[in-house]
Amino acid sequence: MADQNALTPLFTVQIATFPGAPLDEAEAVREAFVKELEKRSARDLTPIHVTFTGWHGIEGKDVMVRVQVGQEVSIYQMVTPDMTGRIVEQHLLGGRPVTEWLAGRDLEAFYQPQKLVVSQWAGTMDPTDLQAYRDQDGYDGYLHFAREGFQGFRALVEPGDLKDGSTLDGRLVVELWREALERPGKRAVVVNACLPAWEAGPELLLLEGAPHQVLEGALLASGVLEADRILFLVPRYARTARERLEEALRVLLESDLLDISGHKPSMEIAVSEHVFLNEDEASFRRALGAQLPADVSLVAHGVEAVALLPLPAQRVLYGQTTITDPSDYHTRIFRLSGPVVRPGFVEVAAGAPLAQVVDQIGGGPLPGHRPKALWVGGAVGGVFPLRLSELSLDHETLKGLGACLSVGQVRLLDDRECVVAQVRESFRRLMAARMGRCAVFDAEAPEILEILEAVTEGRATSDSLPELERRCTRVREEASGALLRNSVNPILTSLQFFHEEYRMHTENKHCPARVCARLIPAPCQMACPTSIDIPSYLAHVAHGEPAKALEVIRHDNPFPWVCGLICPHPCERACVRGHLDQPINIRYLKAYAAQWAEERNLYDVTPPAEKEPQKVAVVGSGPAGLAAAHYLASMGYPVTIFEANPIPGGLLVTGIPEYRLPRSVVRKEIQLLERLGVEIRTGVTVGEDVTLDELRAQGYKAFFLGIGAHQSYQLKIEGEAEYPQVMCVIRFLREVNLGQRAKPADKVVVVGGGNAAMDAARTCIRLGCKEVHVAYRRTLEQMPAHSEEVRQAMEEGVQFHFLAVPVKVVGENGRVTHLECLQARLGKPDASGRRRPIPVAGSNFRIEAGAVIRAIGQQPKLSSFGDDLPFQVTPRNLIVTEPYSTRTSVEDIFAGGDAVTGPATVVEAIAAGKQAALDIDHYLQGRQGPAPVFRAHRRDQVPFVVQSAKEKRDARRVPLHLVDPEVRKHTFDPVELGYSDEEARAEAKRCLRCDVCIRCGTCERVCRDDMQVHALGFSQISTTERVLTDYERPSEKCITCGACALACPTGAIQFEENDRRRRVSLCGTELNALDVPACKACGKPFVPKRYLDYVQKRADAATGKRVFRNLCPECARRVRAERFWKA
pLDDT score of 282 more than 80: yes
258 DSSP assignment: H
pLDDT score of 1124 more than 80: no
pLDDT score of 43 more than 90: no
Instruction: Dump pLDDT digits (tens) for 887-921.
Output: 999 999 999 999 999 889 999 999 999 999 999 99
Q: Is residue 770 part of a domain?
A: yes
At 165, which CATH number?
3.40.50.11540
Predicted local distance difference test score (pLDDT) of residue 634: 96
> What is the C-alpha R_g of the chain?
35
Predicted local distance difference test score (pLDDT) of residue 1097: 79
Predicted local distance difference test score (pLDDT) of residue 324: 67
Strand 1026-1030 to strand 1053-1058: parallel, antiparallel, or no bridges (unpaired)?
Answer: unpaired
Confidence of residue 315 (pLDDT cuts 50, 70, 90): confident
Please compute the mean of the pLDDT values over residues 269-298 and round it to a whole number: 86
pLDDT score of 830 more than 80: no
Strand 711-712 to strand 639-643: parallel, antiparallel, or no bridges (unpaired)?
Answer: unpaired
- Answer yes or no: do 172 and 69 share one domain: no
Instruction: Dump pLDDT digits (tens) for 136-155.
Output: 999 999 999 999 999 999 98
- Answer yes or no: do 585 and 561 share one domain: yes
Confidence of residue 287 (pLDDT cuts 50, 70, 90): confident
Confidence of residue 1098 (pLDDT cuts 50, 70, 90): confident
Rounded Cα–Cα distance for residues 437 and 435 (Å): 7
Nearest CA to 573 out of 520, 527, 515, 516 is that of 527
- Answer yes or no: do 442 and 294 share one domain: no
Long-range contacts of 660-668 (CB under 8 A, 24+ apart): 660/565, 660/566, 660/759, 660/974, 660/975, 661/562, 661/565, 661/566, 662/565, 662/974, 665/561, 665/562, 665/565, 666/562, 668/561, 668/598, 668/603
Instruction: Dump pLDDT digits (tens) for 654-692.
Output: 999 999 999 999 999 999 999 999 999 999 999 999 999
Predicted local distance difference test score (pLDDT) of residue 2: 39
At 816, which CATH number?
3.50.50.60
Predicted local distance difference test score (pLDDT) of residue 1100: 64
Nearest CA to 979 out of 434, 446, 473, 564 is that of 564
Please compute the mean of the pLDDT values over residues 834-844 and round it to a whole number: 86
Rounded Cα–Cα distance for residues 1127 and 1119 (Å): 12
Confidence of residue 6 (pLDDT cuts 50, 70, 90): very low
Least confident among 178-182, 559-563, 1113-1117: 1113-1117
SS3 401: coil
Predicted local distance difference test score (pLDDT) of residue 958: 97
What H or E segment, with its residue span, contains residue 1085?
Answer: none
Q: Is residue 119 part of a domain?
A: no
Predicted local distance difference test score (pLDDT) of residue 158: 85
Please compute the mean of the pLDDT values over residues 1091-1120 and round it to a whole number: 73
- Answer yes or no: do 185 and 316 share one domain: yes
Please compute the mean of the pLDDT values over residues 630-657 and round it to a whole number: 96
Q: Is residue 522 part of a domain?
A: no
CB of 236 closer than 8 Å to CB of 297: no
Choose the final residue of a domain: 859, 886, 914.
Answer: 859
Confidence of residue 3 (pLDDT cuts 50, 70, 90): very low
Q: Which residue has the higher pLDDT, 746 or 263?
A: 746
pLDDT score of 266 more than 90: yes
Instruction: Dump pLDDT digits (tens) for 152-177.
Output: 999 888 887 888 888 888 889 999 99
Predicted local distance difference test score (pLDDT) of residue 1108: 58
Predicted local distance difference test score (pLDDT) of residue 5: 41
List helix spans (H) across 746-833.
755-766, 787-795
Choose the final residue of a domain: 859, 892, 915.
Answer: 859
Least confident among 5-14, 217-226, 268-277, 1024-1033: 5-14
Predicted local distance difference test score (pLDDT) of residue 722: 94
pLDDT score of 588 more than 60: yes
Q: Is residue 115 part of a domain?
A: no
1024 CB burial (10 A radius; 0-12, 13-18, 19+): middle
Predicted local distance difference test score (pLDDT) of residue 867: 80
Rounded Cα–Cα distance for residues 325 and 172 (Å): 16
Q: Which of 156-160, 457-461, 790-794 has the highest mean pLDDT?
A: 790-794
- Answer yes or no: do 288 and 322 share one domain: yes
Q: Is residue 424 part of a domain?
A: yes
Predicted local distance difference test score (pLDDT) of residue 366: 85
pLDDT score of 784 more than 50: yes
Nearest CA to 57 out of 30, 69, 75 is that of 75
- Answer yes or no: do 561 and 542 share one domain: yes
Q: Is residue 317 part of a domain?
A: yes
Q: Is residue 993 part of a domain?
A: no
- Answer yes or no: do 209 and 354 share one domain: no
CB of 382 closer than 8 Å to CB of 402: yes
CB of 655 closer than 8 Å to CB of 759: yes
Rounded Cα–Cα distance for residues 114 and 343 (Å): 13
Choose the final residue of a domain: 298, 329, 360.
Answer: 329
Number of domains the chain is built from? 7
Predicted local distance difference test score (pLDDT) of residue 999: 84
SS3 966: helix
Please compute the mean of the pLDDT values over residues 1068-1084 and round it to a whole number: 90
pLDDT score of 42 more than 70: no
Instruction: Dump pLDDT digits (tens) for 769-779.
Output: 999 999 999 99
Confidence of residue 260 (pLDDT cuts 50, 70, 90): confident
Q: Which of 48-62, 201-215, 927-941, 1092-1106 has the highest mean pLDDT?
A: 201-215
pLDDT score of 71 more than 70: yes
- Answer yes or no: do 307 and 267 share one domain: yes
Predicted local distance difference test score (pLDDT) of residue 1001: 85
Predicted local distance difference test score (pLDDT) of residue 799: 98
Rounded Cα–Cα distance for residues 1026 and 1016 (Å): 11
- Answer yes or no: do 550 and 674 share one domain: no
Please compute the mean of the pLDDT values over residues 361-381 and round it to a whole number: 89
Rounded Cα–Cα distance for residues 348 and 393 (Å): 9
Instruction: Dump pLDDT digits (tens) for 812-823.
Output: 999 999 999 999
Least confident among 281-295, 328-342, 381-395, 427-441: 281-295
- Answer yes or no: do 838 and 896 share one domain: no
Instruction: Dump pLDDT digits (tens) for 181-205.
Output: 999 889 999 999 999 988 889 999 9
Rounded Cα–Cα distance for residues 824 and 289 (Å): 63
Rounded Cα–Cα distance for residues 214 and 267 (Å): 12
List helix spans (H) across 9-149.
24-39, 42-45, 84-86, 105-111, 130-134, 140-148
pLDDT score of 45 more than 60: no
Identify the domain containing residue 835 by its residue range.
713-859
Q: Is residue 994 part of a domain?
A: no
Confidence of residue 38 (pLDDT cuts 50, 70, 90): confident
- Answer yes or no: do 692 and 667 share one domain: yes
Please compute the mean of the pLDDT values over residues 940-952 and round it to a whole number: 93
- Answer yes or no: do 956 and 1018 share one domain: no
**Can you give the pTM of this predicted structure?**
0.67
Rounded Cα–Cα distance for residues 750 and 776 (Å): 9
Instruction: Dump pLDDT digits (tens) for 429-439.
Output: 999 888 778 99
Of the chain, the percentage scoring pLDDT greater than 70 comes to: 96
List helix spans (H) across 289-416.
303-308, 310-315, 354-355, 395-400
Taking all residues of the chain, what is their mean pLDDT, rounded to a whole number?
90
